[in-house]
Structure 1
Amino acid sequence: MPDSGGLQSVEASQRPDSQVRVFALPPRDNAAATTIVDGFLEALTSDDPSYAVARKYLTPKAAKDWHPERQTLVLEDGPRPHSTDRANAEETGRNFELTGTQVARLDDEQAFQPDDRRYKGDLHLSLVATGKGKPKQWRIDTPPHGVVLGKTDFQRIYQSVNKYYYAVDSAAGSGAAGAQKRLVADPVFVRKWADPLTETVKEVLAGPTRWLNRVVTTSFPLKAALRDGTRSLAPDDANKLTVPLNKSADSIGAAQCRKMAAQLLYSLRDLSSSSVDEVELERADGRLMCTLKEGAADALVAPRYSEGTEYQYFLDAKSRVVRMPASGGAHPSPEPVAGPMGEGERRMRSLAISRDQERAASVSGDGRALFVASMVTNASLGDAIAHSGAKAEKDGFTTPSWDGQGDVWVADRDPKNRRLLVFGQGQADRMQEVRVDELSDDARIEAVKMSADGARIALLVTENGRTRLEIGRVERDHGVTDGDVEISVADLRRAAPEMEEVTAVSWAGGSRLVVVGRESGGLQQIRYVQCDGSTPTGQALPGLTRVSEIAASDTDLPLLAHSDDGIVRLPAGAAWQAVVKVGTAPVYPG
């Protein structure tokens, strides 16, 4: 203890540094059964990519049959072991029970799934010979199925990466030769210290996860994999990554090869440790298939609309649609948009701007009429494209949302006719009611946010007095008649499961959303979440008083929100800044 010097405040958290690497220790000779169990559980939290040390705690047969890659169970505070043997148990075997509160799991595809339940697992140990002339040692002959670890260790060991696949096109003519394809992010987890670049490439080659598989396609052939003997990949001094493939890709043509390379480039772009600017694909015999640089990949892929976004939009005190520069200074000056929406000829309460920034969709002040109008001079508002039969304003249309194909989505909260609607190209005569699987009759959709790729939809759903965030897969099934497409939302899954109440949401990237809500007994918070239900680490957002609406872009443009302070926005690295005192419905295109 020092007896002189000044005082210094330190953080009391017991979390390990995210950059700390953990190396497992092998079992000691003549270790007790309890020590073997503790050592095995510690080895599961190490950065050993093949779990070689963890296998040393197992019997030879158990080590051979154990498959840690099949699943990873994440517990709130890690597994707690305790012996279940009676006091007079014979020393021919020992039983231990693992308990804890499970919060999530990674499946065999490394896809994250929130999974709140009680965990209970069993371990059995037996005495086995470990060498000639040596006394028998305790080893585990019945290990857990997969890996079991605590949430803090999971966040230290794993990182989320987006692997990218092409959206299945449904619009007529979208499959024409040379047409740009929309990429869809498919988040999975890879181990930070186990060559994440190579693991990401392997995950892309393995194909999309089961949840996303129905709405995306890959350019890689079936059974595509790295060439036998390829253990690690790394870019050269010019940031070019060479990827040798197996024989399944030998017959691939140049055009398809470039699409394959684009998938890899975009997937590695989201990997923080990657610096790949060019991908070169090789055949099994070492011959060159194709090369692709970042600029060429961007030309192949449909751009993210936010990359061309110059403005933020909202409704001012006169119910006019106004815009301001998205990356302007601290005191931006909003200006009305061209066309009827900028004239405020009718009171509106919600707003959505098309991703090409040419049209606006808006709901009337009483919530019963949906309008779509061009944002060009001398355009007319025209008739509403849909009406709600709701008697109360709170039961009318939700805020509309545009997808990447130019369709408008909105939910009607009329208690007598609740429905999710989509309007092809924002046209009244192309309205379709969308079936939402797994949604009970008592559930009510409070908000609709479409992803830019059109493959996923975020829904705020109220049921039993609470509002939760659900992510659904948007399926488009073609009918017999050309142009006849039946749209449905399938396989809803919970996002932000730790929040008891979610009040606002917006897409903030390929697989990321920003949500406003509160945990049980807590205050309102603003945070980022992944569409798979995981929570990114190290992305805390400053608080704001009573946020009712929030908007984000697919890139790093400032967040925009409606709070008690009016319309405010959050530039990178700064605090919330006031825009106008009176205003509502802040949005980015989408």
Structure 2
Amino acid sequence: MPTERRGAVTRRLAAFAGVVLVLAGGGTGCATVPTSGPRLAQVDKSKDTLSEPYVRIIAEPPKQGASPDDIVKGFQAAMASFDDAELRMAKQYLTPGAAQRWNPRRQTRVYEGKIEPDRTQDLEHATRTTVTLKGTKVATIDSEGRYTPATGALVEPFTLVKVGAEWRIDIPPDARLLSSDDVRRAYRRVDLYYPPAIPATGLVADRVWVPIEPSRGVPETRVRRLLAGPTSSIASAVRSAFPAGTDLNRITVEGDTVVVDFTSQVDTVSTDRLDAIKAQLVWTLGDLVTGRTVEIRVNGSGSGVRFRPADYHAYDPNVLSSSPQAYYMQGGRLLQYKEKGAGTPVPGAAGEQAGKFTEPAVLTQYPVSVAALVNGDGVYVAPMTPGSAWQRWIAGRNMSPPSWDRYGAVWSAEKVSAHESRVWTAIGGQPRRVEISEELSYGRIIKLRVSRDGARVAAILDDGLGTSVRVGTILRLGEQVRIDDVRTLIDSRDDQQIEDIAWQDATDLLVLSKVKSGQELTPWSVMEGRTDPDAGPIKLDSKIESIAAAPDHVIAAADEGQVISYSTDKQAWNQLAKDGATNPVYPLG
């Protein structure tokens, strides 16, 4: 690295405490710099959760006389530098015409691989050559930050030409190419939170991947992305409480208070929407503000609105407490699980009589109720009050197990024929048909589950060729309800049968499947369309009949009439109930 460049970097990092500059050798022409991001206040960064550490790559310009493969390597490194927001350094590796045509903002493509130069060509007399990046496709990240897994071989040719005496790339990829290591280093997975489009207290999660720009740091990056609005997959189901045009001035730390300074648009917010803004802010900042006070200011005003993140648990998109009540069936009745002693029958029809009902679902908001399939002719609901009776809310002889949403509506899918399904929802005993696209209607919906934030559905679909898992977004417009943006989360395969699904939280779905080697219980990120690369399937010791889940909790009906619970800490299953126990249930999900 030239002396003047090193000096510039040193001056640039003067604001960071205890920074070590590590130079990377080789032809990539870059330096990796461990840093804690911009200083937000005079605080001890070893204890400051706002200064989440990450590693920077500082791109270098092309070296004189660099070979074609070194030019491509340098271009790869420059694409991975987020210090250079406009990618000016990366464009120096391109011909003037290519620099004008290149559109890296359209999409980011993630890969595993390496470049393979053409060793057979005599470069001394050549004026044109090709260097190929070969490997495996991993994912794409679109301009909104939506992560989509990709599969297949990657073959990405870079055409280079001589510009004077120097090699430059003339035909670059029409995207930003990043290795998996680049993404792990420079990107953060962020859950954004928005109020639902209907008048209701709560938040809906929207997961994106965002690059951390060193000039901004992690907290500012999160808030700016929140203000940019939800992704198109969920936009029709939510409404941000922030007024249009709101911008972020700065985020600072004063003692144990995180000060978030916005532009004047926030001053126009009504009192009822201000709570929603506070909730959006603290849920999106998440662990960065745990244990702190947050203050909203406008254009640097001396004092603002102060509040504690803990005051906004009512907006939790997962709805449930950290220790949710579990239920299960035994002897034809629904019981509440108790840590000590036998379970207790619930009040009302579901617990007071041994009726012919199956597939119970529990709603814990007032009125606390049970929905179930009764008498084989529809979905019935009974309040958890002594002496209550079953009331039919949805009529039908081939209904899927019911699922509640957080707004007190019960959902179920009806098998019309082997190749057609309908979806119904009912609230207060009034059923209505849900509009669905062919992606859901063609085939038999075996299971339909509503996410706890009330914004999405997941369904097991049998289209005659196998079972798959589809997910979609719920759109509520007055009396009209429809499911949009239906996507396939898990494709059907000859060697796999999907047996059950359960929402673990607002963004993750547990999937029970039968494969050649036995059964698998796997968490899936619905918004990323993938399993957790750092965690495999949950180990199963018994044959599982059905599952239920809540944040940090998994219970299952196992063979021999047992209900078992999985400990994530011990990675082991424990018995909760026996003697014919079945159908474990957590509220919602």
Instruction: Compute the TM-score of the two structures, normalised by the length of structure 1.
Output: 0.78
Q: Distance in 2 between matches of 1:91 and 1:559?
A: 63
Amino acid at match of 1:259: A
- How far 1:406 sits from its partner (Å)? 0.4
Counterpart of 1:548? Answer: 545
Which stretches in structure 2 are left out of the alignment for 5+ residues? 1-52
Q: Distance in 2 between matches of 1:122 and 1:493?
A: 31
Change (3 A) 1:459 1:220: same
Counterpart of 1:468? Answer: 468
1:359-409 alpha-carbon deviations (Å, 9 max, x no partner): 111114x74432211222222235x444434xxxxxx32211000110110
Counterpart of 1:512? Answer: 508
Q: Is the 8 A contact 1:264 1:279 kept in 2?
A: no
Residues 120-519 of structure 1 aligned to structure 2 (within 5 Å): 120-128=155-163, 136-151=165-180, 153-155=182-184, 157-169=186-198, 175=199, 181-191=201-211, 194=214, 195-227=217-249, 233-238=251-256, 240-249=257-266, 251-253=268-270, 255-269=272-286, 272=287, 275=290, 277-284=292-299, 286=301, 290-298=305-313, 301=315, 304-307=318-321, 310-316=324-330, 318-325=331-338, 328=339, 333-356=342-365, 358-364=368-374, 367-382=376-391, 384-389=392-397, 396-415=398-417, 418-425=421-428, 427=429, 430-439=430-439, 442-478=442-478, 485-496=479-490, 501-517=497-513
- How far 1:579 sits from its partner (Å)? 2.1
Change (3 A) 1:148 1:291: same
Q: Distance in 1 between matches of 2:492 and 2:223?
A: 31
Counterpart of 1:35? Answer: 70
Counterpart of 2:563? Answer: 567
Q: Is the 8 A contact 1:411 1:445 kept in 2?
A: yes
Q: Is the 8 A contact 2:501 2:511 kept in 1?
A: yes
Change (3 A) 1:128 1:287: farther
Which of 571, 574, 580 is equivalent to 1:577? 574
Q: Distance in 1 between matches of 2:393 and 2:441?
A: 26
Change (3 A) 1:119 1:288: farther
Root-mean-square deviation over aligned CA pairs: 3.5
1:487-542 alpha-carbon deviations (Å, 9 max, x no partner): 111110222569854322211222122222367x6653222222211333444453
Q: Is the 8 A contact 2:192 2:284 kept in 1?
A: yes
Amino acid at match of 2:421: R
1:105 correspondence with 2:140: yes
1:216-254 alpha-carbon deviations (Å, 9 max, x no partner): 001112232223xx5xx454430x322233454454455
Amino acid at match of 1:237: G
Q: Is the 8 A contact 2:54 2:186 kept in 1?
A: no
- How far 1:344 sits from its partner (Å)? 4.4
Q: Distance in 1 between matches of 2:568 and 2:247?
A: 40
- How far 1:436 sits from its partner (Å)? 1.2
Q: Which moved more, 1:77-86 or 1:147-156?
A: 77-86
Secondary structure, in 3 states, of the residue corresponding to 2:167? Answer: strand
Q: Distance in 1 between matches of 2:421 and 2:230?
A: 33
Change (3 A) 1:189 1:564: same
Q: Distance in 2 between matches of 1:465 and 1:156?
A: 41
- How far 1:208 sits from its partner (Å)? 0.9
Q: Is the 8 A contact 2:318 2:505 kept in 1?
A: no
Secondary structure, in 3 states, of the residue corresponding to 1:439? Answer: helix
Counterpart of 1:6? Answer: none
Amino acid at match of 1:127: K
Amino acid at match of 2:371: A
Q: Is the 8 A contact 1:455 1:473 kept in 2?
A: yes
Q: Distance in 2 between matches of 1:432 and 1:90?
A: 74
Counterpart of 2:49? Answer: none
- How far 1:308 sits from its partner (Å)? 7.6
Structure in which a larger fraction of residues adopt strand: 2
Secondary structure, in 3 states, of the residue corresponding to 1:265? Answer: helix
- How far 1:450 sits from its partner (Å)? 0.7
Instruction: Compute the TM-score of the two structures, normalised by the length of structure 2.
Output: 0.78
Amino acid at match of 2:159: H
Q: Distance in 2 between matches of 1:562 and 1:397?
A: 21
1:73 correspondence with 2:92: no
Q: Distance in 1 between matches of 2:255 and 2:129?
A: 54
Q: Distance in 2 between matches of 1:570 and 1:223?
A: 46
Secondary structure, in 3 states, of the residue corresponding to 1:505? Answer: strand
Aligned residues: 524
- How far 1:456 sits from its partner (Å)? 1.2
1:103-147 alpha-carbon deviations (Å, 9 max, x no partner): 431111111233446655442323346xxxxxx332324332232
Q: Is the 8 A contact 2:267 2:298 kept in 1?
A: yes
Q: Distance in 2 between matches of 1:310 and 1:148?
A: 44
Q: Distance in 2 between matches of 1:84 and 1:113?
A: 35
Change (3 A) 1:368 1:487: same
Secondary structure, in 3 states, of the residue corresponding to 2:248? Answer: coil
Change (3 A) 1:504 1:203: same
Change (3 A) 1:274 1:122: farther
Identity among equivalent positions (%) equals: 25
Secondary structure, in 3 states, of the residue corresponding to 1:398? Answer: coil
Q: Is the 8 A contact 1:321 1:341 kept in 2?
A: yes
Q: Is the 8 A contact 2:160 2:168 kept in 1?
A: yes
- How far 1:424 sits from its partner (Å)? 1.4
Q: Is the 8 A contact 2:56 2:186 kept in 1?
A: no
Q: Is the 8 A contact 1:162 1:511 kept in 2?
A: no
Secondary structure, in 3 states, of the residue corresponding to 1:341? Answer: helix
- How far 1:472 sits from its partner (Å)? 0.7
Amino acid at match of 1:407: A
Amino acid at match of 1:561: A
Change (3 A) 1:146 1:65: same
